[in-house]
């Protein structure tokens, strides 16, 4: 199975600061279709996960543009340009290129 | 508004069977691959499997393939997860999600506790 490694495990930031979360995969996530199925979700405290980004860098329509995703092959990054209070929670990356699909262990974002 | 509403969870004894349901609304259910994902009490996310939009194909996590079965009824916009011979390690919150490998919406989740 593809192992997804997220760092850091947690980060504590003040509102307005930038955030960066790394996600590394044990195999290339570039599929035979030429697409890379690396996705990001956010789970706020006490809630179910919400979709954020798909195929590395594509934001869902409801996601604020302070979020961005980048990367290729085995290294990916989620960035928040300026953290807001509503951004707290646990961020997970997950891959949909290789079966079985697998998730990172999560990065907890706390607001100072 | 897209909604995915899971049901059917609860406390079950080891070795029992259980069927979870997920009713979808707000989008054309029959156009989308659908998946089940579970989250353990320790917050680990585990992909269970998915099913093609017309129900003709399924994929499973190898460790669960022999005990879990995913199906769907497009006429009812409903996704199912049949769990058999459940074990304590199946204790988790179960989510249905849309979009398959592309990801998409998540339901609110349903808790399953396996204990005697």
DSSP state of B24: E
Indicate the pLDDT class of residue B95, thresholds 50, 70 and 90. Answer: very high
Residue B58's pLDDT is: 97
Indicate the length of chain A as a whole number.
Answer: 112
**Three-state secondary structure along A53-95?**
EECCCEECCCCCCCEEEEEECCEEEEEECCCCHHHCEEEEEEE
Query: In this structure, what token pair is assigned to residue B110?
Result: 């349903």
Mean pLDDT score, A13-38? 97
Residue B87's pLDDT is: 97
Count, in order, helices (H) and strands (E) of chain B: 0, 10
Mean pLDDT score, A29-48? 97
List CB contacts of B63: < 8 A, sequence separation 6 or more: none
* Contacts with B45 from chain A: Cβ below 8 Å: 92, 94, 103, 106
Q: What are phi and psi of A76, to 5 degrees?
A: -140, 155
Indicate the pLDDT class of residue A52, thresholds 50, 70 and 90. Answer: very high
Residue whose entry in the numeric block shows the structure tokens 């930038």: A18
Indicate the length of chain B as a whole number.
Answer: 116
List CB contacts of B10: < 8 A, sequence separation 6 or more: B18, B111, B112, B113
What average pLDDT does chain B have?
Answer: 97
Give the 3-state secondary structure of residue B71: strand
Residue A90's pLDDT is: 98
Query: In this structure, what token pair is assigned to residue A80?
Result: 């928040």
Query: CB contacts < 8 Å between A and B, how many?
Result: 51
| Closest A-chain CA to B100 | A96
Indicate the pLDDT class of residue A24, thresholds 50, 70 and 90. Answer: very high
Residue A32's pLDDT is: 93
Residue B61's pLDDT is: 97
A1 in Cβ contact with A97 (< 8 Å): no
Residue B27's pLDDT is: 95
* Contacts with B62 from chain A: Cβ below 8 Å: 100
Mean pLDDT score, B23-37? 97
Mean pLDDT score, B25-53? 97
Distance from CA of A46 to the nearest CA of B (A): 10
Distance of alpha carbon B27 from alpha carbon B21, whole angstroms = 17
Q: Which helix (H) or strand (E) holds B20?
A: strand B18-25
Listing DSSP states for A3-26 in one string gives: -EEEE-SEEEE-TT--EEEEEEES
Give the 3-state secondary structure of residue B52: coil
Residue B97's pLDDT is: 98
Residue A50's pLDDT is: 98
Strand partners, B92: B112
Distance of alpha carbon B16 from alpha carbon B9, whole angstroms = 13
Residue A57's pLDDT is: 98
Indicate the pLDDT class of residue B108, thresholds 50, 70 and 90. Answer: very high
């Amino acid at each position: 199975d593809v192992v997804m490694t997220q760092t850091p495990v947690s980060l504590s930031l003040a509102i307005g600061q930038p955030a960066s979360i790394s996600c590394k995969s044990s195999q290339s996530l570039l599929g035979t279709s030429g697409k890379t199925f690396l996705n990001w979700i956010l789970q706020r405290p006490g809630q179910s996960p919400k979709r954020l980004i798909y195929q590395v860098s594509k934001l869902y329509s409801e996601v604020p543009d302070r979020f961005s995703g980048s990367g290729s092959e085995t290294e990916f990054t989620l960035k928040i340009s300026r953290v807001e209070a509503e951004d707290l929670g646990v961020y997970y990356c997950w891959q949909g290129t290789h079966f079985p699909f697998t998730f990172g262990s999560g990065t907890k974002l706390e607001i100072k | 508004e897209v909604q995915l509403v899971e049901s059917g969870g609860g406390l079950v004894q080891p070795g029992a069977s259980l069927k979870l349901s997920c009713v979808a609304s707000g989008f054309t259910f029959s156009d989308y691959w659908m998946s089940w994902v579970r989250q353990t009490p320790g917050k680990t996310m585990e992909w269970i499997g998915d099913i093609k939009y017309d129900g003709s194909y399924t994929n499973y996590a190898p460790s669960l393939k022999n005990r879990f079965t995913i199906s769907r009824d497009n006429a009812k916009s409903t996704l199912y997860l049949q769990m058999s011979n459940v074990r304590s390690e199946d204790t988790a919150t179960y989510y249905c999600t849309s979009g398959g490998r592309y990801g998409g919406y998540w339901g609110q989740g349903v808790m399953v506790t396996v204990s005697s």
